[in-house]
Amino acid sequence: MQHVKLRQIQLKNHPSLNERWVQDVIAEDPSILGIGDVVLKDKERVHRNAGRLDLLLQEADGHGRYEVEIQLGASDESHIIRTIEYWDIERKRYPQYDHTAVIVAEDITSRFLNVISLFNGHIPIMAIQFSAIETGEGVGLHFTTVLDTVSRGFVDDDEEVAPITDRSYWENRGSRKTISLADKILVICSEFLPSSTEFSYNKHYMGFWIDGRANNFAICRPQKSVLRADIKIPKSQENDQFIESAELDCLDYDSRWKQYRIRVTENDLEQKREALLHLLRSAYEIRTN
């Protein structure tokens, strides 16, 4: 097959293509950014005394929002400050969502990448660099994530310093019925976990204690009438279809912690045991490999 040499062009001083064109392209198909299954929530969103946010994107089936600022040419101080300012306004206005600041530029120099990296870990921020490629059919945009948000473990992953509770705490917070459902999850996991595995009872969840250390490939959150199992596997079309075909009650996909949140009932543990076993085993293998 013949190799076709691609021609990269710069949009900074292009006679007809400008920042608004890039914005419209992303708005028409936000998935081209490569940050997941997101949809357009707003464009040129007005912030009083702070200007206009280029794009506000939202996860199609989750609770994450992305404040996106676009710049042609190289990213600079004002671009970074503007992006963080819009992120801060949105997170304060809508605290029920998980917000991420997204810097998009043709050129993110090593100097400014280092500056942005200093914020990461304190501010969830991403840097995406794009190239404009000219072909006989037109101009295409190619996006590359050069800085992703810091992937954090569960708040209580460090079991030695986590607020430790006990079984009675969860019986009061949830119920004895839902605690028994969690016990059955542990029984399912016994098919691939060491026999010494037990629950660790923490303030925010029940995790897994394996061979003397935490391994939270999944966690259980007993509620009053149902059990919620958060299973840490990547979101994919294959996993979505598997969960749907198994008729599991999936609440949503938590992209921040990269886990499916599934509501589990007594009936699920009896009739959908094999499906739950498959998901839990997959999560454990991903976590340990």
In this predicted model, what pLDDT tens digit does every residue of 108-163 receive, in sequence order? 888 888 888 777 768 889 899 999 998 888 899 999 998 887 554 544 454 444 56
Give the residue from 77, 40, 81 showing the smallest Cα distance to 57: 40
User: pTM higher than 0.75 for the full model?
Assistant: no
Q: What pLDDT is recorded for position 203? A: 82
Instruction: Write the CB contacts of 276 (distance below 8 Å, at least 6 apart in sequence).
Output: 185, 188, 229, 248, 264, 268, 269
Residue 276 binned pLDDT confidence (cut-offs 50, 70, 90): very high
Amino acid at 77: E
CB 10 within 8 A of CB 119: no
Residue range 80-111, pLDDT digits in tens: 899 999 999 999 998 888 899 999 999 988 88
- Distance separating alpha carbons of residues 161 and 232, to the nearest angstrom: 22
Residue range 23-74, pLDDT digits in tens: 999 999 998 998 888 899 999 999 888 889 999 999 876 678 999 999 999 8
Please check the confidence at residue 241 and state whether its pLDDT lies above 80. Answer: yes
Residue range 214-240, pLDDT digits in tens: 899 999 999 888 899 999 999 888 999
